[in-house]
């Protein structure tokens, strides 16, 4: 999918402090006006942040595509829309699994309300999940959903109250 993209420009949103994975919250919006100008805006919505904002406007002068190429790309996008939707869902499910594994591993390490053996059990399951994801980067959504359910079934009985707001 990335290889099918055409580079239009970039911008930098800085001032975001280093935080654990999944903690920073960024809102990105894409807007196309009636003249075909694309505006991309990113806002730091992390709790306690300064709300830094960055944006870029992409005009037709910035693109090296001619109208025939653009029309071909639109037709291709319509033709592959369903396949793209499936791929997107697979990626979202993989990200949900990965996010829970990182969260479980980081939150359980120093949790005094959970026994060391249970902390080790959750930490090991999270690490094994992350290792499995690295070896299986493009599985079907059902596979990721099953793995997510298995990880939740381990974490919730042991430490569900710790993750109440995140699960």
pLDDT over 90 (residue 55): yes
For the whole prediction, is pTM greater than 0.85?
Answer: no
Give domain 2-63's CATH architecture: Sandwich (2.60)
The CA-based angle 162-106-127, given to 5 degrees, is 115
What average pLDDT score do residues 14-41 get?
A: 87
83-159 topology per CATH:
Substrate Binding Domain Of Dnak; Chain:A; Domain 2 (1.20.1270)
Domain boundaries along the sequence of the chain: 2-63, 83-159
pLDDT digits (tens, 9 = 90+) for 58-81: 887 766 677 788 888 889 889 999
Range with the largest mean pLDDT of 44-58, 63-77, 136-150:
136-150
């Amino acid at each position: 999918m990335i290889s099918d993209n055409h580079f239009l420009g970039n911008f930098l949103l800085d001032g975001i402090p280093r935080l654990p994975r999944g903690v920073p919250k960024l809102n990105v919006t894409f807007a196309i006006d009636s003249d075909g100008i694309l505006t991309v805006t990113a806002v730091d919505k992390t709790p306690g942040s300064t709300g830094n904002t960055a944006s870029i406007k992409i005009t037709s002068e910035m693109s090296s595509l001619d109208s025939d190429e653009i029309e071909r790309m639109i037709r291709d996008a319509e033709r592959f829309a369903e396949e793209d939707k499936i791929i997107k869902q697979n990626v979202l499910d993989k990200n949900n699994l990965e996010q829970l594994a990182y969260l479980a591993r980081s939150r359980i390490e120093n949790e005094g309300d959970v026994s060391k053996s249970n902390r080790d059990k959750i930490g090991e399951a999270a690490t094994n999940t992350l290792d499995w994801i690295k070896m299986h980067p493009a599985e079907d959504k059902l596979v990721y959903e099953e793995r997510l359910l298995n990880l939740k079934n381990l974490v919730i009985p042991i430490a569900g109250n710790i993750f109440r707001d995140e699960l």
